[in-house]
Amino acid sequence: MGDSDEAGGEVGGITVTIPPVQPASPKAAAGADAPLVEPDVLERVLRVAIRRGGHMAELFAEDRQTSGASMDDRKVEALSSGRDRGAGIRVVVGETTGFAHTADLSERSLLAAAEAAAAVAREGGGGVHLVALPARRPAGPGAAVLPSTVAKATKLELLARADEVARSAGGAISQVSASYGDARRRVLVASTEGVLAEDDQVRTRFSVQCVAAGDTGMQTGSEAVARTMGFELFDAADVGEIARTAAARALVKLSARPAPSGELPVVLAGGSGGILFHEACGHGLEADHIVKDASVYTGKVGELVASPLVTLVDDGTIAGEWGNFAVDDEGRPAARNVLIDHGVLTDYLWDWLRARQEGRASSGNGRRQSYRHLPMVRMTNTFLLPGAEDRHEIVAQTARGVYVAKLGGGQVNTATGDFVFGTTEAYLIENGTITEPLRDANLIGNGPETLLRIDAVADDFSMTPGTCGKDGQSVPVGCGQATLRVTGVTVGGTAA
């Protein structure tokens, strides 16, 4: 957005001030894209939204462009591209939120959305009321995005290269699937609280999944890379190495034995185990669960909730990580938030609405899937800080246990902290040595108890990208940790 003079006015005793836009991202400043909504239109829309009284009115505009390609069994299965533009308008009156969204960014449609959101907010009764306005096709093409300047043939060459390398890993590889995707998301947030911010987010990903066939049946392995950056991702990421890793995971499972069952020490490899802490304690530290008393961590700020070796951080400012952005979806700057400091709970994650209820500031964790959704408290990049131990020594000091090289998906009950996670690559530890591969099993435990049982943390920190689902919305996040040991986790294996 270009510079504009400061404009303002008083509506119903509430001053509406639209300051000059300060692009939150260097990419936004450098681009030649037209603003999603002109400053004078923003002012008029917010005036309409708030003119009959209200605590806050907010406009969130979004322009998302995506492209993707996939290959399965040496055949290109899909080539896709898409674009989605629109805006959501939120009006808060007391404890009631009115929300309307439209796929038309014209002033007429934005004013209609503002009227609709304000009307349902004034109905009162608490809660959230949603209104969807008719969609219209966006006018005009968007500006080129860096990944879109790369020929489709070049992207397909990456898929073909991954397929070739994966199949060369061994004759037992019977199927290879590879996929590429990129997205550019331009957002603009303006509110009657003086917020006016924009961001320009470009994300690129590549993944490979392999199937190996043998005497033990069909086994799968996968690997992916995903970063908040453009096609330059592949200057550092080797699709051949991604394919080899996926194939190796599938092949090693062909000789895997059933996993043991019962409570055992578990060593989580760096990076992979981050999803456990994202689910097992991260969600329980989101303020919407806290204010509803639906979290095991409610009322425990200042208390020891984890091993002194544990410092848990949520940080949306880490450049390149999958959960990175300049401003959240309420226009607040991304921030580094220390949640647990050497075992002591220090704070929760906050969006604007929950922070307002508690008389404090947002922590920059208001996120939404798209302009069609209301923001809610969400994590960004959530990780445990590394320790000082050597990862090999941690294994060597473990007489018997399970080494988890890669975790799969899982679920958690935030009210109790109980969780279940699957393993997708794991090995037996015997006499301090990693030995036989294990078939997929479950890790079953309790988040607070697991945090207290961490007795060793290494220095080999790494991150893993992921997609976090909550209340029907999905957003990109990062998870991370160094290799660490939990003294006891229930392993749901099948070995006698």
Q: Tens-of-pLDDT digits for all 496 residues of the chain?
A: 333 333 333 333 333 334 444 444 444 433 446 889 999 999 999 999 988 777 899 999 999 999 999 999 899 999 999 999 999 999 999 889 999 999 999 999 999 999 999 988 877 666 554 455 444 333 332 323 479 899 999 999 999 999 999 999 999 999 999 999 999 999 999 999 889 999 999 999 999 999 999 987 899 999 999 999 999 999 999 999 999 999 999 999 999 999 999 999 999 999 988 888 998 899 999 999 999 999 999 999 999 999 999 999 999 999 999 999 999 999 999 999 999 999 999 999 999 999 999 999 999 999 999 999 999 999 999 999 999 999 999 999 999 999 999 998 888 898 899 999 999 999 999 999 999 999 999 999 999 999 999 999 999 999 999 999 999 999 999 999 999 999 999 999 776 5
pLDDT confidence of residue 34: 84
Query: Looking up tokens 């997929």, which residue turns up?
Result: 440
Residue 222 · residue 210 · CB < 8 Å: yes
Which residues, listed in sequence order, are joined to residue 473 by a DSSP beta bridge? Answer: 470
Torsion angle of C-alpha atoms 54, 56, 57, 60, degrees rounded to 10: -160
pLDDT confidence of residue 3: 34
Q: Is 449 helix (H, G, I), strand (E, B) or coil?
A: helix
pTM reported for the whole predicted model: 0.89
pLDDT confidence of residue 471: 94
Strands 261-268 and 400-412 come out as: parallel
Give the whole-angstrom CA distance, residue 334 versus residue 49: 27
Q: In this structure, which long-range contacts are made by residues 212-217, counting pairs with CB atoms below 8 Å and at least 24 apart in sequence?
A: 212/170, 212/172, 212/173, 212/174, 212/247, 212/250, 212/251, 212/253, 212/254, 213/172, 213/174, 214/172, 214/254, 215/254, 216/253, 216/254, 216/255, 216/256
User: Who's near 472: CB < 8 A, 6+ residues apart?
Assistant: none
Give the whole-angstrom CA distance, residue 318 versus residue 162: 28
Residue 374 · residue 129 · CB < 8 Å: no
Give the whole-angstrom CA distance, residue 73 versus residue 58: 48
Q: How many alpha carbons fall within 13 Å on the CB side of residue 73?
A: 1
Q: Which of 161, 166, 190 is nearest to 244 (CA)?
A: 166
pLDDT confidence of residue 128: 52
Alpha carbon of 8 to those of 44, 115, 172, 419: distances in Å?
A: 10, 19, 68, 50
Strands 418-430 and 400-412 come out as: antiparallel
Eight-state DSSP code of residue 284: G
Give the whole-angstrom CA distance, residue 318 versus residue 324: 6
Residue 189 · residue 329 · CB < 8 Å: yes
Give the whole-angstrom CA distance, residue 417 versus residue 419: 6
In terms of CATH, what superfamily is 7-204?
PmbA/TldD superfamily (3.30.2290.10)
Torsion angle of C-alpha atoms 327, 330, 332, 337, degrees rounded to 10: -90
Q: Which of 1, 17, 6, 104 is nearest to 57 (CA)?
A: 17
Q: Is 287 helix (H, G, I), strand (E, B) or coil?
A: helix
Identity at 163, one-letter amino acid code:
D
User: Who's near 391: CB < 8 A, 6+ residues apart?
Assistant: 269, 270, 458, 459, 460, 482, 483
H or E stretch including 472? none
H or E stretch including 383? strand 381-384
Backbone φ, ψ for residue 374 (5° rounding): -75, 150
Q: How many alpha carbons fall within 13 Å on the CB side of residue 59?
A: 37
Give span(s): CATH 3.30.2290.10, the chain.
7-204
Give the whole-angstrom CA distance, residue 473 versus residue 468: 8
